[in-house]
Amino acid sequence: MDDSRDEAMVDGRDDEAESRLPLSSDEQRVLDLYDTLQQLRLEIAIINSQASHQSARTQGSDEFTGEAQKDLLDARASDLLPYVERRDEAAISVAKQASDMGALRSGLTEVQAETTRVTRNNVELTAVLFDLADKVKQKQAGRLDNPRTQSEVARLEGEVKTSRQRWRVMKGVASGVVSGSGVDWARDDELRDIVLDPESED
């Protein structure tokens, strides 16, 4: 009856663990071995308790039986010990990876926010430069033969070209960071616009 009760307790712990944590087959095997080790320890305690109440037997027979049982259980426990140690190491590794992943996602979120801000700023600056260039062209339409006017127009056009190139680079970097981050950018309008921006600058 004790054995069936112990098995029920072990099965209960297994069901509870499976309902709470998604474990790989190796991790589940380690946990099962750990439960077996706990059961062995319980069996040792039961055997020791029973041995203390078997005073009717000869002392030599009791000692021999107790030592044989202890040796057997110790041998089984020694076989399980490496698996328990591997389970502990795996648990530590998983916890560290989870912490590193959290820090990485936090840093990535900051980078995405900054990239979005810079990209918008570049777009706004590009629009301003376009507007200035158009105004200069309209204002100086009748005086384009003036060297100073031509120089000013050329300078503005150069700034516009540089701003466009810088915007393309920033957009490419932002798109690469977002698409390679593992974040579900398709569900976020801003991130989706960064990765799949349909606009093209001539």
59 vs 104: which has the higher pLDDT: 104
pLDDT category at 202 given cuts 50, 70, 90 is very low
Q: Say whether both 75 and 111 belong to one domain.
A: yes
Q: Say whether both 130 and 152 belong to one domain.
A: no
Sign of CA dihedral 190, 196, 199, 200: positive
Whether 46 is covered by a domain: the verdict is no
Provide the domain count of the chain.
2
60 vs 163: CA distance, rounded Å? 95
150 has pLDDT over 50: yes
* 121-143 pLDDT tens trace: 777 777 777 777 777 666 666 55
Tokens of 70: 């202890």
Q: Say whether both 133 and 158 belong to one domain.
A: no
Q: Supply the range of the domain harboring residue 112.
A: 67-145
- State which of 128, 145, 162 marks the end of a domain: 145
- State which of 108, 124, 145 marks the end of a domain: 145
Whether 57 is covered by a domain: the verdict is no
* 3-50 pLDDT tens trace: 555 555 545 555 554 455 566 777 777 777 778 888 888 888 788 777
Residue with tokens 């509870």: 16
Q: Say whether both 165 and 182 belong to one domain.
A: yes
Which pairs from 76-80 meet CB under 8 Å and 24+ separation?
76/40, 77/37, 77/40, 77/41, 80/33, 80/34, 80/36, 80/37, 80/40
The confidence score (pLDDT) of residue 58 equals 52
Which pairs from 127-133 meet CB under 8 Å and 24+ separation?
129/156, 129/159, 129/160, 129/163, 130/160, 132/156, 133/157, 133/160
SS3 category, 102: helix
Q: Say whether both 126 and 160 belong to one domain.
A: no
* 57-97 pLDDT tens trace: 555 555 666 676 777 777 777 777 777 778 778 888 888 87
Q: Say whether both 130 and 187 belong to one domain.
A: no
The confidence score (pLDDT) of residue 201 equals 47
Q: Say whether both 187 and 165 belong to one domain.
A: yes
The confidence score (pLDDT) of residue 14 equals 54
What are the counts of helices (DSSP H) followed by strands (DSSP E) for the chain? Answer: 5, 0
* 154-200 pLDDT tens trace: 787 787 788 778 777 777 777 777 777 666 777 777 777 777 765 55
Cα distances from 115 to residues 145, 161, 167, 191, 196, in angstroms, run 42, 21, 11, 10, 15
Whether 7 is covered by a domain: the verdict is no
Whether 55 is covered by a domain: the verdict is no
Helix, strand, coil share of the chain (percent; to 5): 85, 0, 15
Q: Which residues of 60-84 are buried (b: 16+ CB within 10 A; e: fewer)?
A: eeeeeebeebeeeeeeeeeebeebb
Q: Say whether both 151 and 162 belong to one domain.
A: yes
Q: Say whether both 136 and 159 belong to one domain.
A: no
